[in-house]
Amino acid sequence: MLRSVIRPGVYYDSVVLMRVQRSLAALPDVLDAGVVMATPANREILAAGSLLPEDLANSRADDLLIVIRAASAAAAEYALSQLDELLRARRTASAESYRPHALTTAIGELPDARWVMISVPGEHAAALARQALDEGKNVFLYSDNVTLTEELELKQLAGERGLLMMGPDCGTAILSGVGFGFANRVRRGGIGLIGASGTGLQAIASRIHELGGGLSHALGTGGRDLHQEIGGLTALAALDLLSRDEETRVIVLVSKPPAPGIATRVLAAARRTGKPVVVHFLGQPRPERRVGTLHFATSLAEAAEIAAGLAEQTEPAGASFAKSSPGALLRGLFSGGTLAAEALLGLRVFLRTIASNVGHDASYRDTSQNGHRLLDLGDDEFTVGRPHPMIDLTLLRERIRAAATESSVGVVLLDVVLGDGAHADPASELAPEIAAGKALAASQGRALEVVVIVIGTEGDPQDLARQVAELGGSGATVVRSVGEAIERVTAVLAVPTGERSGRPVPIEALRPPVAVINVGLESFHDSLVAQGAATLQMDWKPPAGGNRRLTEILAKMGAPRR
């Protein structure tokens, strides 16, 4: 016995409908019930459950469908008769209060609200968010299915106005202890989170709490913020905001791997905060465990643990950033393939494009572009008919000399591998070459930094201490691992300044009292109420009764953008 009702052009949020559906299904002799907006996906699900009568097959996405399968016609009729009351009774205690239909009215009702939280269907979300930004409100945009073009427009508008635009598809945020969307109850403390992904932030927040740590704020950016097209606009604004927030002593930045140029920019901004920043780019190999003030994590749990550890340290991180020589270039000259690969991997994140012969990459042959270069001189092509560069330093010396004459080169990075089988005294050949190169550069008024990674033990026949002393005596910076070399190289070489183009977001955006206008899922309103936040639920309906063509016509008449 299947009975159905169609209500064109009405809107209830999906959580409300889920609850009504469950109430109907629980009525006596009702076998199954469906209460859904008639999107193609939902019609498919109804059909799979044998809950889609023929005459409803052509309903439209903005129609509300109610279908009852019951043991008897009477039971089905009774269930349908309860529908309106259930829809009306959907609300909690707060339901009886006045609910404005327009955003401007809502703002008038709750003028302290610095935030508008939006969770209406994606096709309507961007217009609402634009309106909120135009009214000078920061936006938490939970809705997904918003286009990339709309996202960019919204974030650019936010930048012009000095507002924070979290989302679209932003699942979570915590501002001064108040959770937006999905959020865990965590203690307050000195760790600020920035994350694209909702559950990533939630996992880190929960773990920090478990470890005894606490959060200042957690800011969401939406899953596509670090895409090339968006350019990390919200992440950069959030980093800037947390850098100015006195409560925040440690920052955690979690995201899927960003577009390469964006990663470079965001990491430069992270270093510029002067605060320790734990970075977790999920699925991207870590450049090193630590580079300057940046700490790289492998998993959500590890990101939390590193942050909790850093927050306990009393000593401030110190702004380790960058005596930068704008535009200066790197020449990496390696005899060890694995050392070259580790250096390339670590530096690429910071310097972006490095031409190299490591990893089947012939880009280093492209001499038309005068950029950073890193060569493995032990590669097959260099060793046919001549000894390995760990034995024969001729090639290395020639290239050090060549690099020193290039006015654009700021750093020469090389490795010296000691031990049996290797050159008996590499420093005797390299130190004079390095000293001459530095002298040449100095005579031309340039600074040339030479970083040497020395691998070996004090038992090696070359005398490790003497090698280090002689290389150091030539003016080179001697380090003992690739990680230290990366730290040194990135501290010297110019990193894109990545200045934000947008106006800074006033720090008050994060401060209590947190007041929010909620448009969309009533359950989010309920949880704000439960947390004691000032909040106002808007009674939103799709414009023009959900008629998309009419909506577009209204939009062209200039209605929404005011």
Q: How far is the CB of 299 from a second copy (least distance, A)?
A: 6
Chain positions 351 to 380 lying near a second copy, rule: CB under 8 A, are 359, 378, 380
| Torsion (CA) 56, 58, 60, 66 in degrees, nearest 10 | 10
Tell me the pairing of strands 2-8 and 449-455: unpaired
Structure tokens at 135: 């009214």
Residue (24 or 329) nearer to a second copy, CB: 24
Distance in angstroms (rounded) separating the CA atoms of residues 81 and 79: 5
- Among 111, 385, 445, 558, indicate the residue that binds a second copy (CB under 8 A): 385
Question: Of the ranges 129-137, 195-203, 242-250, 310-318, which one interacts with a second copy (CB under 8 A)?
Answer: 195-203
Asked if residue 455 binds a second copy (CB under 8 A), the reply is yes
Residue (69 or 207) nearer to a second copy, CB: 207
Asked if residue 211 binds a second copy (CB under 8 A), the reply is no
Distance in angstroms (rounded) separating the CA atoms of residues 433 and 454: 16
- State the angle between helix axes of 122-134 and 148-161 in degrees (0 to 180), rounded to the nearest 10: 10
Asked if residue 420 binds a second copy (CB under 8 A), the reply is yes
Residue (316 or 432) nearer to a second copy, CB: 432
Please, what's the b/e burial string for 114-130 (b: 16 or more CB within 10 A of its CB; e: otherwise)? bbbbbbbbbbbbbbbbb
Residue (210 or 366) nearer to a second copy, CB: 210
Q: How far is the CB of 446 from a second copy (least distance, A)?
A: 26
Q: Does the CA dihedral 68-73-78-83 come out positive or negative? A: positive
Q: Does the CA dihedral 455-460-462-468 come out positive or negative? A: positive
Question: Of the ranges 85-93, 238-246, 271-279, 412-420, which one interacts with a second copy (CB under 8 A)?
Answer: 412-420
Asked if residue 337 binds a second copy (CB under 8 A), the reply is yes
Q: How far is the CB of 411 from a second copy (least distance, A)?
A: 20
Distance in angstroms (rounded) separating the CA atoms of residues 51 and 113: 43
- Among 32, 406, 460, 463, indicate the residue that binds a second copy (CB under 8 A): 460
Q: How far is the CB of 314 from a second copy (least distance, A)?
A: 25
Chain positions 116 to 145 lying near a second copy, rule: CB under 8 A, are 121, 144-145
Asked if residue 523 binds a second copy (CB under 8 A), the reply is yes
Q: Which of 273, 388, 443, 207 is nearest to 435 (CA)?
A: 443
- Among 82, 320, 325, 481, indicate the residue that binds a second copy (CB under 8 A): 481
The 115-118 sheet, strands edge to edge = 165-166, 138-141, 115-118, 515-519, 534-537
- Among 150, 225, 245, 288, indicate the residue that binds a second copy (CB under 8 A): 288
Structure tokens at 148: 């990339």
Q: How far is the CB of 345 from a second copy (least distance, A)?
A: 5
Q: How far is the CB of 487 from a second copy (least distance, A)?
A: 12
Asked if residue 4 binds a second copy (CB under 8 A), the reply is no
Chain positions 246 to 265 lying near a second copy, rule: CB under 8 A, are 254, 256
Asked if residue 218 binds a second copy (CB under 8 A), the reply is no
Site string for a second copy, 292-311 (x = CB under 8 A): ----x-xxxxx---------
Helix (H, G, I), strand (E, B) or coil at 272: helix
Question: Of the ranges 240-248, 308-316, 336-344, 465-473, which one interacts with a second copy (CB under 8 A)?
Answer: 336-344
Asked if residue 413 binds a second copy (CB under 8 A), the reply is no
- Among 23, 131, 184, 356, indicate the residue that binds a second copy (CB under 8 A): 184
Asked if residue 421 binds a second copy (CB under 8 A), the reply is yes
Chain centre distance of CA 125? 21
Peptide bond into 168 cis (omega under 30): yes
User: In 24-62, which ranges are E strands?
Assistant: 30-37
Chain positions 23 to 42 lying near a second copy, rule: CB under 8 A, are 36-37, 39, 41-42
- Number of amino acids touching a second copy (CB under 8 A): 97
Distance in angstroms (rounded) separating the CA atoms of residues 562 and 554: 13
Paired residues of 70 in beta bridges: 30
Peptide bond into 513 cis (omega under 30): yes
- Among 97, 147, 338, 408, indicate the residue that binds a second copy (CB under 8 A): 338
Distances (CA, A) of 22 to 3, 41, 46, 84, 442: 16, 19, 15, 14, 79
Asked if residue 108 binds a second copy (CB under 8 A), the reply is no
